[in-house]
């Protein structure tokens, strides 16, 4: 009798555990109401990354916060691995830190899933905080369909042209200037390839911030203004994509997909150019001795005289898990203060988002390299932000849209298909997905 | 004084029997719980999610068979990734079994130092797959890899192992065969199990080495071959790590394996519902292939003592 009882109990325990294992995940937590709390938590969780570009930013905002709230311990949690996976898993498990690292690509999906909260009410209620001095286009990256404030952006991250002065000199090619055209740069690159065997573009070119500017530079668009029609196969877009992929297929100045530089191609001196944001200059400057002379310049112009480049930013948001959103706001807002923004620039970790620092004498007088640090700021006038795609087809960063475009690049560069064929296929597949959602 | 069972009172005997039963259940409880929580639980969960649009950060909504229908009708990468996996499986199973069997035959020869050779050939299995993938990526490197360096020493042209769509799958197959030491060890055990007298009898009957291998060794080894083929087919369809580390599915999707496709759908696109459907389709494919191999086994597998 007793054995049956024990067996039954054991079976019940197993069944209970099985049910626990099979249960559906908890729905995303609701955004907490903004309530000022009087009793502060003893601990505050801050989920962030580590690296040359961000270590000082982390330190600065932690120090600024702890000066105001010495009784609250800031527990820094380093997020490692694929950020989308890590943050999504934490969100599903309900274990997100109070304040989490974000990037522009996470703003919309995380806001829609109610993983991050809208900070606009907190910002408006804060007499010490003013968004008016921040570049509007960068602030737009923190909004969902033009509304709310889901991320406090970190810096004015405009894709700018880094160049290896030694390779240009070795090839006898003229150094890039603010007036350089893409044609002149490509001609110089051909010379560099011929004389030094170094490529000019050291990556596979699949970053939206480098190929979308070509599409727009030739008069095309990725998506119609109403977000319903994919325009990758328009004649203007195809012309831009043709000019872009020619750098790999026709001119051979882009690194072949299977060429291994043994590290970052620009850093190891095997690529003459690097199109990237200001942050990497910090790590590059730390190389001792400097492997080569380098500087930065604004993006070259397209045949119509237009200059277009990509821009975006990382930042921080308050998670729906935050125990005390008001306290989280006090922590996060330090990122946009003039003091922090200037400190980020002075540390070579980024360019300031505050318009008032646009011509700051201290920043402009920073010791080189890069000597032309002002190019990071002036290049912002040519910046475009990533196109937002409605529905569940992904974005230029991830999901089906990203995959279709990457496949099209592979089809052109590796499988030698025509730009028209490859990108028309991508266009039609993305359109089918948008129509189906 | 010895006590026989007959002398133990009925009540105590029943209690002892009951305690032993309970103890038995308690001993197996950790394994059973582990199976329920970590194997059956996720299986049931994934079966459920395969009928939903679960995306991790959004609650799951029931979509019926939509994921399965889309898989067969709208996902061009489903066919491509399945094709890559099937081509890999054919090459890996064929080349792997022949190589491992040949190696096992060599490792059962009566020569000095055989223990060393057996240990030496088993070493690849103790290298973690991630580490061996990184190692082989270096070996295959077009710019500074030793394999191409060796080919150049022989006056042969360098091969773009991982960069060419034509050679990349073969490169991964070769690496996988290198890692198949377990198969070799199983063949060694199988070969050692073949009765010497059968081989001696064949020898006395005038059979040469090849004839003895074909007419005695192979039939006697067929159950081992059967086991190795089944596990190799299952393993081939689950291939993932080297493609993830060495090629990232490229170049141009040439190593976009089924599991890599599944991984991207699940963890890059966060389409957990869709990826769950893919996992169940993969399960069905493997089950079907295993069933085919089992059904074909009476035609080519001989069990010791079996009369035909």
CATH of the domain at B113: 1.10.3720.10
Give how far the C-alpha of residue A54 lies from the chain's centroid of Cα atoms, to the nearest Å: 13
Q: Which alpha helices (H) appear in A113-222, and where do they start and end? A: 120-125, 136-140, 165-171, 182-196, 208-217
On the question of pLDDT at A140 being above 50, the answer is: yes
Q: Is B45 on the interface with A (CB under 8 A)?
A: yes
What residues have CB less than 8 Å from B128, skipping those under 6 apart? none
* Chain A to chain B Cβ contacts (< 8 Å): 110
Q: Is B11 on the interface with A (CB under 8 A)?
A: no
Domain chopping of chain A, boundaries: 43-157+312-382
- Per DSSP, the three-state class of A273 is strand
pLDDT band at A21 (very low <50, low <70, confident <90, very high): very low
Query: Are the CB atoms for B279 and B125 separated by under 8 Å?
Result: no
**DSSP state, A227?**
S
On the question of pLDDT at A37 being above 60, the answer is: no
Enclosing domain of residue B209? 76-300
Q: Which two tokens stand for residue B308?
A: 């035909």
Residues of A in contact with B21 (CB under 8 A): 3
Are B76 and A429 within 8 A, CB to CB? yes
Q: Which of B22, B44, B162 sits opposite A258 (nearest CB)?
A: B162
Residue B14 counted as domain residue: no
Q: What is the DSSP string of A50-105?
A: -STTTHHHHHHHHHHHHHH-TTSEEEEEE--S-HHHHHHHHHHHT---SEEEEEHH
Are A113 and B76 within 8 A, CB to CB? no
Residue B306 counted as domain residue: no
Bridge partners for A48 per DSSP: A78
> How many Cα atoms within 13 Å fall on the side-chain side of residue B162?
27
What residues have CB less than 8 Å from A325, skipping those under 6 apart? A32, A34, A35, A117, A122, A318
- Which of B16, B18, B252, B271 would best serve as a mutation to test chain A binding (most A beta carbons within 10 A)? B252
pLDDT digits (tens, 9 = 90+) for B270-293: 889 999 999 999 999 999 999 999
Residue B33 counted as domain residue: no
Q: Distance between CA A18 and CA B39 in Å, rounded?
A: 10
Cα nearest neighbour of A261 on chain B: B143
Give mean pLDDT, residues B52-75. Answer: 90
pLDDT digits (tens, 9 = 90+) for A329-351: 999 998 998 989 999 999 998 99
Residue B15 counted as domain residue: no
Chain A: closest CA distance from residue B207 (Å): 52
Are B56 and A92 within 8 A, CB to CB? yes
On the question of pLDDT at B213 being above 80, the answer is: yes
- Of A374-383, B109-118, B235-244, the range with the lowest mean pLDDT is B109-118
Residue B204 counted as domain residue: yes
Q: Distance between CA A247 and CA A225 in Å, rounded?
A: 29
Q: Which two tokens stand for residue A130?
A: 């003013």
Left, alpha or beta for B150 (phi > 0: left; psi -120 to 50: alpha)?
A: alpha
Q: Which two tokens stand for residue A399?
A: 């999901």
pLDDT digits (tens, 9 = 90+) for B145-156: 899 999 999 999
pLDDT band at B57 (very low <50, low <70, confident <90, very high): confident
The CATH architecture one would assign to domain A43-157+312-382 is: 3-Layer(aba) Sandwich (3.40)
Name the percent of chain A lying above pLDDT 70.
91
pTM listed for this prediction: 0.81
Mean per-residue pLDDT over chain B, rounded: 91
- Which of A21, A268, A421 would best serve as a mutation to test chain B binding (most B beta carbons within 10 A)? A21
> C-alpha distances in angstroms, A106 versus A47, A322, A328, A431, B190?
15, 18, 19, 22, 55
Chain B: closest CA distance from residue A407 (Å): 7
Q: Examine the predicted complex and report whether its ipTM is higher than 0.85.
A: no
pLDDT of amino acid B308 = 62
pLDDT of amino acid A38 = 59
pLDDT digits (tens, 9 = 90+) for A199-223: 999 988 999 999 999 999 999 999 9
Give mean pLDDT, residues A157-181. Answer: 97
Residue B124 counted as domain residue: yes
Q: Which of A84, A113, A410 sits opposite B58 (nearest CB)?
A: A113
pLDDT of amino acid B307 = 62
What residues have CB less than 8 Å from A111, skipping those under 6 apart? A118, A144, A148, A150
Comparing CA positions, the residue from A43, A102, A80 lying closest to residue A318 is A102
pLDDT band at A1 (very low <50, low <70, confident <90, very high): very low
Sign of the Cα pseudo-torsion (A278, A284, A290, A291, in order)? negative
Q: Is B303 on the interface with A (CB under 8 A)?
A: no
Residues of A in contact with B40 (CB under 8 A): 18, 21
Residue B66 counted as domain residue: no
pLDDT of amino acid A13 = 45
Q: Distance between CA A42 and CA B20 in Å, rounded?
A: 52
Q: Which residue has the higher pLDDT, A204 or B97?
A: B97
- How many helices (H) does chain A have, and how many strands (E)? 17, 12
pLDDT digits (tens, 9 = 90+) for B164-176: 899 999 999 999 9
What is the rounded end-to-end Cα distance, in angstroms, of chain A? Answer: 59
Chain A: closest CA distance from residue B180 (Å): 27
Residue B9 counted as domain residue: no
Give mean pLDDT, residues A71-91. Answer: 89
**DSSP state, B303?**
-
Residues of A in contact with B136 (CB under 8 A): none
Give mean pLDDT, residues B194-218. Answer: 92
Query: Are the CB atoms for A383 and A277 separated by under 8 Å?
Result: no
Split into its structural domains, chain B has a count of 1
Q: Distance between CA A272 and CA A103 in Å, rounded?
A: 28
Are A432 and B141 within 8 A, CB to CB? no
């Amino acid at each position: 009798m007793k054995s049956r009882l024990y067996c039954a109990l054991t079976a019940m325990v197993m069944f209970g555990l099985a049910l626990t294992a099979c249960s559906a995940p908890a729905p995303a937590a609701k955004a907490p109401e903004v309530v000022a709390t009087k009793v502060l938590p003893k601990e505050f969780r801050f989920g962030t990354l580590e690296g040359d570009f961000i270590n000082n930013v982390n330190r600065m905002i932690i120090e600024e916060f702890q000066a105001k709230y010495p009784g609250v311990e800031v527990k820094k949690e380093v997020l490692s691995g694929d950020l989308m996976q890590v943050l999504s898993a934490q969100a599903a498990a309900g274990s997100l830190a109070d304040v989490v690292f974000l990037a522009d690509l996470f703003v919309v999906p995380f806001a829609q899933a109610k993983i991050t909260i809208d900070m606009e009410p907190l910002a408006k209620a804060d007499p010490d905080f003013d968004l008016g001095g921040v570049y509007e286009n960068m602030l737009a990256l923190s909004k969902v369909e033009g509304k709310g404030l889901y991320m406090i952006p970190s810096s004015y991250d405009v894709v700018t042209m880094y160049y290896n002065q030694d390779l240009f000199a070795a090839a006898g090619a003229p150094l890039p200037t603010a007036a350089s055209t893409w044609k002149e740069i490509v001609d110089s690159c051909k010379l560099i390839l011929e004389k030094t065997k170094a490529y000019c573009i050291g990556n596979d070119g699949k970053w939206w911030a480098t190929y979308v500017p070509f599409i727009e530079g030739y008069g095309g668009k990725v998506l119609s203004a109403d977000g319903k029609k994919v325009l990758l196969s328009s004649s203007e877009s195809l012309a831009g994509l043709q000019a872009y992929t020619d750098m790999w297929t026709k001119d051979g100045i882009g690194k072949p997909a299977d060429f291994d530089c043994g590290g970052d191609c620009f850093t190891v001196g095997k690529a003459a150019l690097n199109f990237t944001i200001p942050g990497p200059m910090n790590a590059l400057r730390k190389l001792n001795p400097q492997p080569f002379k380098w500087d930065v310049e604004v993006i070259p112009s397209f045949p119509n005289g237009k200059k277009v480049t990509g821009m975006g930013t990382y930042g921080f948001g308050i998670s729906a898990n935050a125990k005390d959103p008001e306290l989280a706001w006090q922590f996060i807002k330090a990122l946009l203060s003039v003091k922090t923004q200037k400190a980020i620039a002075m540390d070579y970790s980024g360019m300031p988002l505050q318009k008032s620092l646009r011509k700051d004498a201290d920043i402009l007088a920073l010791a080189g390299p890069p000597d032309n640090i002002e190019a990071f700021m002036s290049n912002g006038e040519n910046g475009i932000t990533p196109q937002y795609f409605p529905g569940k087809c992904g974005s230029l960063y991830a999901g089906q849209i990203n995959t279709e475009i990457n496949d099209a690049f592979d089809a052109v560069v590796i499988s030698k298909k025509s730009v028209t064929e490859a990108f028309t296929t991508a266009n039609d597949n993305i359109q089918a997905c948008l129509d189906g959602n | 004084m010895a006590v026989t069972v007959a002398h133990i009172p009925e009540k105590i005997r029943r209690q002892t029997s009951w305690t032993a039963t309970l103890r038995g259940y308690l001993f197996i409880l950790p394994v059973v719980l582990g199976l329920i929580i970590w194997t059956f639980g996720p299986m049931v969960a994934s079966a459920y999610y395969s009928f939903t649009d679960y995306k991790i950060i959004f609650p799951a909504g029931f979509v019926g068979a939509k994921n399965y229908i889309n898989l067969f009708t709208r996902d061009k990468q489903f066919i491509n990734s399945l094709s890559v996996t099937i081509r890999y499986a054919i090459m890996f199973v064929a080349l792997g079994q022949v190589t491992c069997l040949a190696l096992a035959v060599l490792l059962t020869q009566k020569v000095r130092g055989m223990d060393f050779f057996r240990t030496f050939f088993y070493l690849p299995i103790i290298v973690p797959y991630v580490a061996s993938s990184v190692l082989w990526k270096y070996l295959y490197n077009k710019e500074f890899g030793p394999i191409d360096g060796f080919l150049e020493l022989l006056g042969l042209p360098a091969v773009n192992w991982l960069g060419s769509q034509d050679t990349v799958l073969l490169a991964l197959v070769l690496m996988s065969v290198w890692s198949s030491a377990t198969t070799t060890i199983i063949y060694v055990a199988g070969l050692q199990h073949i009765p010497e007298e059968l081989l001696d009898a064949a020898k006395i009957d005038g059979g040469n080495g090849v004839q003895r291998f074909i007419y005695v060794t192979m039939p006697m080894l067929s159950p081992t071959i059967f086991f190795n083929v089944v596990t190799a087919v299952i393993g081939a369809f689950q291939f993932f790590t080297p493609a993830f580390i060495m090629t990232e599915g490229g170049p141009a999707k040439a190593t976009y394996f089924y599991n890599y496709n599944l991984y991207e759908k699940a963890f890059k696109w966060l389409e957990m519902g869709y990826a769950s459907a893919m996992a169940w389709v993969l399960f069905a494919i493997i089950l079907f292939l295993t069933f085919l191999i089992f059904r074909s086994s009476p035609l080519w597998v001989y069990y010791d003592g079996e009369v035909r």
